[in-house]
Structure 1
């Protein structure tokens, strides 16, 4: 979106950087292991918390992409390991091609650029993470050298070029397992922020169809891998509403895919309300039911609106077997205007992930690598240090993911999960501590609970019991099973988080309705022992 591009340009000017050529080496071979693809609900659950490597491989100057062009350092394996260790299980890698595409009719992509894309993908894929790559800045009118323009007159040439580029990318990655997902394009529209226009929307639909057909026809794992397609400007209303979006047909997919299952995902972004998430001034610095100053809170785009937007995607696509991916969301740093603003940024991130999960969608936070005023950054791109632990913790508590302490390679994200519980859950009095964080609104609330093992031995299998306030009833939960839904409730561990090592913790949570009493639960006991 335009404000992120402006921020990138400011970063570029501030750093006084010129386009530099990274050293592109030959990378290790891709994994040829092919495992059974997951169903839509399994995929969303397995993707966990997602994060964007923004303003990097899509960065460009004068139409030439270069990963340091907008001020971020060269990506390293060590940095990706830091992202994984923070708990993220999916990394979206925006990619631009632009001036790295050769002339017609072959439109050959620069070999060094493809090699570098592959190398960065391997940093994450080799660690068992889900990886998404797309065609990002090629469709932005505000980017020099852009060409994937839906209202341009030369649609025949555009479609030929688009097909050739995706064919080369798909062939390069055709043996990678299902943890690699392709996304057709990013925020493509005519540049006017009004209702979609025709034939521009028809051209976007045509691009999506070319993308699906081209990838499938390259064979290998591409015949069955998940593919991600957006509607108009990745806008929820213009994708789920009656504005012209058409889901591509998938006629060339592998015959091994069960007929009742899909292999297409729907891409949307969420930055509402923009006066909180993106407007670069100090007027609106707070968000959500926890806001303390009504004058600093937007008059729209709060929890009820967010819930309704995610429900639209669920009702339109998830119910038909198409999972939804909120490929970008987030909010900028406004602490120079309001020292408490980061608290509301964390509330916002938690709420987006919670609502998305409730309605069958995965998410990826937008991180442009910029920390400080107006930045989206969660990490220091040079050291790998987490710069916004409150936001990261909010994301992890909402999705139910624990940070990983071992960034070693694995065959899948689930390989690093905790072992299944034993048949004899155990703990001792005084060896557990429970904290909960309630985020309430009108008639609903979410509660994120952290269970810490303060003892000297591991807990193998757990049941957390607590009492809800009167008038509350759990409507959905994550990272545990909850029974009954009201009164005294027992949360029983999931298959992947039953073991809590000494000094370790797990995060779970739920959404509940209430009739005016949004108080936190009380009387926590873990396997019968009272917790502090």
Structure 2
């Protein structure tokens, strides 16, 4: 499967999508604290709800000290809508009724004049989630300005525990001094600007996103990201030989956006992006011209940014690949030549480039052992302490695109992740060479984020964030507009982002499914799910603001959660098709796990006619959802594209449309179906129901039948 997976990755085109989701609230108030008699006091508090889901939310709180230095703080407020804190980071947060108190974590007890500290928490809510507007610090009401004084208060004893890198550090916080490992740790977590500056068309809107704005970067930073990768394709903005001059206006625009990001406090990764397959890939047959052009490109980039702060990082080339080579040995040699040339040019350009962090990729940015070994050899030969290795990760390919029955984040998909992260940890991190997962996500997101079932998707991101922390890997989320909307500055899927954000600092409990299916007719029976505690403890089930009753509504035996027949009968009510109730499984840490209680009947399909360009199976889904589809001929052989498997690729060869009550079979499917041979389709639904259907292609015509 590795070869198939790499082909899929190299062919990836990331199209932008519109996103919508969570709102942010900012409260400007005063904050006071004391370190000595009659100390001037005042501060500003920012309170932002960065993500929200039914029954839960994530909030970020920033405290900017406008008065004399503070050496210990306790912030208090009252929730106006009965919210409760369930888990916190960078502060110890306690609550009693509607009253909440956040105490410094020791290592962040000191707040200098005009400095900022931040903390965050997950909370629960029902009805409304109104933001608090009044805060006190050390018992003194915040006023929003500098004025008055406070009496001395005892400062807490500083903790001896070293600070953990946090996703919410102030933009004014300088990068850590010392090793490359420390700097790359401070880059966690990271975000990709996507293909905005890939610019295969006229300008940065070519991929469907709006022009990058300073407000976009401000809002991304406010989500808790500490680094931003800015992919740039230079091909359409570089002149001819021998100078290969970069268009001045294009370079100025890139410098403007990089400057905004640096001003926001980001670490910024700037690279040579899809030039990798537009012209660099011809290096085996056009070696001299490619190398000259590549060297000219990096000479100009290095010169333009040589005086930029150390938080600007250069990446030699994105997903390097070569066409027409003699094989792995030549590929390794060519990439070594590019990485070595890049290193020499940047280091010789002077200024901050003499010690700037430089990111070097493996071939295809693959974490396969041979590719990792090749890069390890290059880094060893360069003998430079400020080098960073990078690979990309889009998951186990069948799961990542939903093909070959890979509908679940199962043991195989999990093992693929741990194997890859273990390899780069052993090769690099264990040898004090930092690693950036420069892109991560799921390949199915290139079409839309619904290719992978929601609960399975959440388990993937929960596990990825946790295991990356175990292996000390910095991660940078790939986002071409399908996650964070570039205009509204909201998340399309706040539940997904809440899981991602939580994974930066802790684990969350999950379950074998986020769906419980109850038949529309007949007796309602008890249903069970397997809990994945992930080091947490199960706290209970809640519907909205109402706790379900343990022992009556549900039981837990070991890792098995069972909903009683009586509780399910109450929850499904009149048993209308679809989601009748949503529960929250709550754990001692992380975000709650949503469980939808769904009423269904086996879906019904009907006969139809159409063409290979437009054919749809009339489908009464009746509350159920489609997981995958198999296609076989009468002799049992596999039909359709990628006939090494009977299970076809979701949304590429088929796609459900719940609004129009159809399952479309796409032209890509019929393009590889034999004329005149009946194909048996088996539709697999998430309830466990299987429905068969038959299609026959005759030229450009298609007939479909139940029998």
TM-score bucket of the superposed structures, by smaller chain: 0.5 to 0.7
1:13-35 residue CA offsets vs partner (Å, 9 max, x unmatched): xxxxxxxxxxxxxxxxxxxx997
Q: TM-score, normalised by structure 2?
A: 0.47
Structure 2 partner of 1:286:
408
Q: Does 1:353 find its partner at 2:434?
A: no
Alignment partner of 1:173 is 2:305: yes
Would the alpha carbon gap of residues 356 and 190 (structure 1) be closer, same or farther in structure 2, given more than 3 Å must change? same
Q: 1:74 aligns with which of 186, 189, 211?
A: 211
Q: Which structure 2 residues correspond to residues 110-125 of structure 1 after superposition, within 5 A?
A: 110-125=247-262
Q: 2:290 aligns with which of 158, 162, 165?
A: 158
Q: Is the 8 A contact 1:151 1:200 kept in 2?
A: no
* TM-aligned CA distance change 1:325 to 1:35, over 3 Å: closer
Residue of structure 2 in register with 1:52 after alignment: 192
Query: For residue 368 of structure 1, what is the aligned residue in structure 2?
Result: 480
1:377-396 → structure 2 map (5 Å cutoff): 377-396=482-501
What is the aligned partner in structure 1 of residue 273 from structure 2? 136
Contact kept? 1:97, 1:138, Cα under 8 Å? yes
What's 1:270 paired with? 393
Count of residues in correspondence between the two structures: 370
CA distance in 1, matches of 2:478, 2:449: 22
How far has the Cα of 1:395 moved from its partner? 2.0
Q: Which structure's residues are more often helix, by fraction?
A: 1
Residues 195 and 37 (structure 1), Cα distance of their counterparts in 2 relative to 1, 3 Å cut: farther
Q: Deviations over 1:274-300 (max 9, x none)?
A: 222235x795443247xxxxxxxxxx3
- TM-score, scaled to structure 1: 0.61
Q: 1:341 aligns with which of 438, 441, 453?
A: 453
* SS of the residue 1:149 aligns to: helix
CA contact (8 A) 1:438 1:448 kept: no
Mapping 1:131-280, distance limit 5 Å: 131-140=268-277, 146-149=278-281, 151-190=283-322, 197-238=328-369, 241-242=372-373, 246-248=377-379, 262-278=385-401
Instruction: Find the structure with the greater CA-based Rg.
Output: 2
Asked if the contact 1:438/1:447 (under 8 Å) is kept, the reply is no
Would you say the 8 A contact 1:54–1:366 is kept in 2?
Answer: yes
Structure with higher strand content: 2
Residues 51-93 of structure 1 deviation map (CA, whole Å, 9 limit, x = unaligned): 11112101303xx6x2111111101111112211111111111
Q: Which residue of 2 aligns with 1:315?
A: 426
Bigger RCO (CA 8 Å, 6+ sep): 1
SS of residue paired to 2:268: strand
SS of the aligned residue for 1:59 comes to coil
Offset of 1:311 from its aligned partner? 1.0
- Describe the SS at the equivalent of 1:269: strand
Contact 1:397 1:448 in 2 (8 A): no
Contact 2:376 2:428 in 1 (8 A): no
Q: Secondary structure at the match of 2:388?
A: strand
1:223–1:157 CA distance, 2 compared to 1 (3 A): same
> What is the alpha-carbon distance in structure 1 between the residues aligned to residue 204 and residue 450 of structure 2?
32
Residues 390 and 321 from structure 1, CA distance in 2 versus in 1: closer, same or farther, beyond 3 angstroms?
Answer: same
Structure 1: tracts of 5 or more residues without a match: 13-32, 141-145, 254-261, 290-299, 370-376, 402-434, 450-468, 472-506, 510-532
Secondary structure of the equivalent of 2:269? strand
Distance 2:327 2:353 in 1: 31
Question: What is residue 428 of structure 1 aligned with on the other side?
Answer: none
Give the conservation status (yes or no) of the 8 Å contact 2:176–2:182.
Answer: no
Query: 1:75 aligns to what SS in structure 2?
Result: coil
Provide the C-alpha distance between the structure 2 equivalents of 1:105 and 1:379, rounded to a whole number of angstroms. Answer: 41
For the residues of structure 2 that align with 1:91 and 1:186, how far apart are their CA atoms?
A: 15
Once residues 287 and 354 of structure 2 are traced to their aligned partners in structure 1, the CA distance between those partners, rounded to angstroms, is 27
Tell me by how many angstroms 1:333 deviates.
4.7
Q: 1: CA distance between counterparts of 2:405 and 2:394?
A: 17
Question: CA, structure 1 residues 345+122, in 2 after alignment: closer, same or farther (shift >3 Å)?
Answer: farther
Asked if the contact 1:239/1:245 (under 8 Å) is kept, the reply is no
Measured after TM superposition, the shift of residue 213 of structure 1 is 0.8
Write the mapping of 1:25-64 to structure 2, written as runs, cut at 5 A: 37-61=177-201
Q: Does 1:108 align with 2:240?
A: no
Q: Distance in 1 between matches of 2:350 and 2:361?
A: 23
CA deviation after TM superposition for structure 1 residue 107, in Å: 1.3
Secondary structure of 1:186 counterpart: coil
- Give the match for residue 463 of structure 1: none
Q: Secondary structure at the match of 2:206?
A: coil
| 200 and 7 in structure 1: CA distance in 2 versus 1, 3 angstrom threshold | closer
Displacement of 1:241 after TM fit?
A: 4.8
Structure 2 gaps, min length 5: 1-5, 18-172, 513-529, 538-556, 560-587, 591-707
Residue 363 to residue 334, structure 1, CA distance change in 2 (3 Å): closer
* Contact in 1 for aligned 2:237/2:246 (Cα 8 Å): yes
